[in-house]
Amino acid sequence: MDERDPFRLDGRVAAVVGAASGIGEAVALACARQGARVACLDRDADGAAAVASRIAADGGLSESQVLDVRDAEAVRGAFEALHSRHGRLDIAVSTPAVNVRKRLLDYSEDELDRVLTLNLKGSVHVLQAAGRIMTAQGSGTIVLFSSIRSQAVEPGQSVYAATKAGIVQLVRTAAAEFGAAGVRVNAIAPGVVDTPLTAPIKARPDWYAAYARKNALGRWARPEEIAGPTVFLCSDAASYVTGSVLFVDAGWTAIDGRFQPPGI
């Protein structure tokens, strides 16, 4: 019987895009704690280097590199360099996204391009670069980030929600195309998470509290609470999971719009 812990990532090489802060930082740290060698990739060079240093200080294996997922050639080059240095690329996780909260009729062309390019094109670039390496080596796992907004929307979420729904279909299609080569592709769909990206909402106590009330646990998530499910998808514990969307939303999508009837 194989008694190895299926949740461990020992000997794996992981590329975490968006590792400088927020969920990406938490994912990078969690992968390292499970034994992976983690490449911290981000547009923020200092932030990525700081996370890599934290991993090293804890006895983990890490490196960092500047990377903008909007640049297809840069993504390809970064992933190929990782593969060349270490002889493998086992895990690719991509977290970057942007949201311009505006009603659809008020969106400018520049804002439309900004959201579509980072959220959708950036995800395609990661799928293509990691997919080419992993399908050739016959193994690997890719995790992209969708959102509860792929299912539940509100005014001001149109383009962002469309990109997060699009990521779901990208993941499903990539899973279908890469599966024969032994490569798994999945998505995480978080609910509301305390990160630098959501700081403007936290600055509005009424808005912050309203979102907390929308889920079953009545609170926002911490980034590390999203990292655990992500590491699960990257591990052998999820070896039969591909083409799936794991909602980590404290029940938001299950109970959204709930009403407590009298006497129930």
User: 120-130: per-residue pLDDT in tens?
Assistant: 999 999 999 99
**Has residue 9 got a pLDDT over 80?**
yes
Q: What is the mean pLDDT of the chain?
A: 95
160 catalytically annotated: yes
Task: Output the pLDDT for position 196.
Answer: 83
Contacts of residue 25, Cβ cutoff 8 Å, sequence gap at least 6: 19, 47, 51, 223
Other residues' Cβ atoms within 10 Å of the Cβ of residue 115: 19
Taken in order of first residue, the domains within the chain and their CATH numbers are: 13-248 (3.40.50.720)
* Confidence (pLDDT) at 261: 57
The predicted structure's pLDDT at residue 197: 81
pLDDT of residue 2: 47
Of the residues 160, 208, 211, 240, which is catalytic?
160
Question: Confidence band (pLDDT; 50, 70, 90) for 1?
Answer: very low
Evaluate whether 144 touches 187 at the Cβ level (below 8 Å): yes
Distance CA 255, CA 264 (A): 15
What global pTM score does this model have? 0.95
Examine the pLDDT at 199 and tell me if it is beyond 90.
Answer: no
The confidence band for 260, taking pLDDT boundaries of 50, 70 and 90, is low
* Band of residue 155 on the pLDDT scale cut at 50, 70, 90: very high
**pLDDT tens digits, 200-256:** 898 999 999 999 999 999 999 999 999 999 999 999 999 999 999 999 999 999 998
The pLDDT > 70 percentage for the chain reads 96
pLDDT-derived band at 264, boundaries 50, 70, 90: low
Average pLDDT over residues 138-142: 98
Average pLDDT over residues 87-107: 96
